[in-house]
Amino acid sequence: MKYDELIQLYFERSNALQWYWNIYIIVIGGLVAFSSFRPRRDLLKTALVTVLYCMFAYKNLDAIHDVTVQRFATLELIKESKQSSPDAPDVNKRVAEVLEPTLVLATPDYDGPFGVRNFHIYCDLLTIAMLWVMEFHRKKEG
């Protein structure tokens, strides 16, 4: 691949990553809305929604991880392509000098409290807690 194609691929993967996070936030918002509009307790529905949300969150985190790893690989290829073509035009060299330092990656690994996985899991646990707190603050049936 050419340098400009690699840059395009990098930003396509970045857009995909942003979409996965957007879908995640929309689903959480939908759960909050669903939960807040129910007037009566229904433990079975809440349990089912919790299980379905956990399944969604697991697959969403998996997709976020995959796209993040793809971004890392693309950035590595970008850096290698600059080094492997010494006769590349000066424009590519200048683009590389200016653009590459701005290509910052969120780590897909699980280091620290604010890694991608840990952040996702914290949000998942808070969402599940919110579902159940709202459930137990509803009026009992009958």
Per-residue pLDDT reduced to its tens digit, 70-129: 888 888 888 877 665 555 566 566 666 766 776 766 666 655 666 788 889 999 999 999
- Does residue 25 surpass a pLDDT of 90? yes
Instruction: Give per-residue pLDDT as tens, 5-19.
Output: 888 988 999 999 999
Residues 63-71: what's their mean pLDDT? 87
Q: What's the predicted TM-score (pTM) here?
A: 0.76
Q: Using CA atoms, how far apart are residues 115 and 107, in angstroms rounded to an integer?
A: 6
Structure tokens at 81: 């392509």
DSSP helix/strand/coil, 86: coil
Q: Using CA atoms, how far apart are residues 39 and 21, in angstroms rounded to an integer?
A: 30
- Domain range summary for the chain, segments of one domain joined by +: 3-136
Give me the helix-helix angle, 3-37 and 43-84, nearest 10°.
170
CA of residue 91 relative to chain centroid, distance: 33
